[in-house]
Structure formats: structure tokens, C-alpha cells
Structure 1
Amino acid sequence: MSAELRSGTRLEAMRVGDVEAVLAIEQRAYEFPWTRGNFIDSLAAGYEAFVLRDEADALLGYCLAMPGVGELHLLNITVAPALQGRGHARGMLDALQALARAQGCEQIWLEVRQSNERARAVYQRYGFAEVGQRRAYYPAAQGRREDAVLMSLRLLPAQEVLA
């Protein structure tokens, strides 16, 4: 996987042995985190899943994506809360985009909470466009549901990127 990673960091395939550390970050990062079962099921399904580590082998973040016909669907990308704002998410997005191109994908899709302005801004700076809305997609406080913003990144064919 080729990506613009911060110095001293590396991407590795996520393994079942990583799930507890991933889950610890997930629970610190979100009010409604994925469950251990969500991660295990994603790995068992063969989804694209990788972790970002530093030189000391500490887990900094992770990413999971579901391949489809001509597209990749970003399911979860998270950087440990204390390490956000340092370019780690961008490095993982670079890796995801390289992976999508290598698989011949034309687009990357994702959903993000409507209230998550920070993440939406990161995705927009990266080139994702808001293309729709999914009503009542996410769980919210007091048994309510929150809408998701559907975003898409159109990928140029590899030969156009190199030109």
C-alpha cells in the first residue's frame, strides 16, 4: 500500500489480535462506537482493514472499507482522539485511495454524521463531495436517530493521475 504517511508511521493489515486495541480507541472516539463483533465480522468478511502504527508499535488509528463493483465504501476511519489533527487520517485516506485505484475502483463512498462538522471538513478538504443524505442512519441520544451525509470521491484512472 503506497501512501503519504507521517514519518515514523506504517500501515499494516488489521488482524483479529488488533481488535482489542482498536476497540479501545473506538470507544474513546465515539459516543456510539462499533462493537467488537462489528470489527470481527468485517475481518471475517474479508473487508479491507488496516491499522496505523508508530515506531514504538503503538496503535494510532485504523481504517476499514468494503469493496464493491467499481467502488470502495469507507466504513470506519479513526485516529486516536489525542493524536487527531496531525495528518494521520489524510495518510490513511491516501492509502485507501491508492488501494481503490489498484482495484480499478472509480469512486470511494462514505457516510458521516451530519453533526460531525470536523470530519466533514476533513473529507471535503480531501476532495469528497456531499452527494446525498441518509435519514435516521446513526443512533443518537435518547433513542433518537441522526441523519448521515453521503459523500463520494471520484477517482481519476491511474493513467490520468500519472500524466
Structure 2
Amino acid sequence: MRWWDIAPVLELEHDLFPEDAWSAGMFWSELAHARGPHATRRYLVAEDGGRIVGYAGLAAAGDLADVQTIAAARDQWGTGLGARLLTELLRAATSFECAEVLLEVRVDNTRAQRLYERFGFEPLGFRRGYYQPGNVDALVMRLSDPARSVSSASSVRSETHG
């Protein structure tokens, strides 16, 4: 993801997550941390015909990574885009030498939960009222050994600088 991707990513973000969408400042902050040779974040976008149809981000610290965000446009649901984005995040976690990957997912987002389970993520617990302002709980999930879950390559553009 690059700085000029933020505006179209925000449009997609607000369409998919109207109650708890990230702000432009949040994306700018994440991209600022994804720069340089010692970057511990990876943000990427997926394009179709020049249109951004998905995006994802991962932060790493020590041997632990956290999926910060992952999204696919509604017209891409069921195409495997979410799996390709997640694969790229797990590749990044592997390159950062992370032994585990964590994520939070809305308890009412069963589609995403099924995707994460296919990759080997297991439920760890709940964060009550995590998603605001809707006061929706988050299911915390964990994947041990992300390298084992990485599958075939995808055509997702990955950038580590903004």
C-alpha cells in the first residue's frame, strides 16, 4: 500500500465497516511504520482493472504478529481474494520470523471466522465491546506456525514503503 492508495482504501473501508471504519490518520500512521529496512509492518492492496478491491495489513513485534486489517470489496466475496490477502500476510509474518499470529474479528462476522479457521486459526477468547461505537465483541484468534499455513503465491501487490 502506498500513500495514494489511502483514499480508495478509505472508500472501501467505509462501505464495508460503516460503524467502525478506520480513519485516514490511522492508515497514515500504519504506513509510516511500514517504511525502512527495519519495518515491522506490511500493508498491501489488491487491484482489479486499476480499482482497489481489497487491502490488508499486519504488524509484528518480536515473534508475534497481529493482523491489523483485511478487507475485500463486496463484489469480490467468494472469489478467494480474502484467502490470497491472508496468505500474503502470513508470508510477511514468516519473513518477520513470527511464531504466532493473532487477530480480532467481529463475533457477527462468521464469513471471516470461517476463512481464518481454514488457515488454522483457533479461538483464544473474547474482547467485550471491542468494536465501537456499536459495542460489538471481538473474537480473538491465534495461529501457531504461520509458515505452515502459507500456500501458493498470489497476485497481490505488496509494498513496504509509502
TM-score class normalised by the smaller sequence:
0.7 to 0.9
1:148 and 2:134 are equivalent in the alignment: no
SS of the aligned residue for 1:133 comes to strand
Unmatched segments (≥5 aa) in structure 1: 1-13
1:33 and 2:21 are equivalent in the alignment: yes
1:17 and 2:36 are equivalent in the alignment: no
Q: Which runs of 4+ in 1 moved over 3 A?
A: none
Identity of aligned residues (%): 30
1:45, distance to aligned residue in structure 2 (A): 2.1
Counterpart residue type for residue 16 of structure 1: W
2:59 maps to what in 1? 66
SS of the aligned residue for 1:86 comes to coil
Q: Which has the higher contact order (CA 8 A, sep 6+)?
A: 2
Q: TM-score, structure 1 length as denominator? A: 0.81
Unmatched segments (≥5 aa) in structure 2: 35-40, 152-162
Q: TM-score, structure 2 length as denominator? A: 0.81
SS of the aligned residue for 2:46 comes to strand
1:83, distance to aligned residue in structure 2 (A): 1.1
Q: Structure 1 residue aligned with 2:90, among 93, 97, 101?
A: 97
Q: Structure 2 residue aligned with 1:137, among 117, 126, 130?
A: 130
Alignment of 1:67-86 (within 5 A): 67-86=60-79
Aligned residues: 142
1:57, distance to aligned residue in structure 2 (A): 2.2
SS of the aligned residue for 2:44 comes to strand
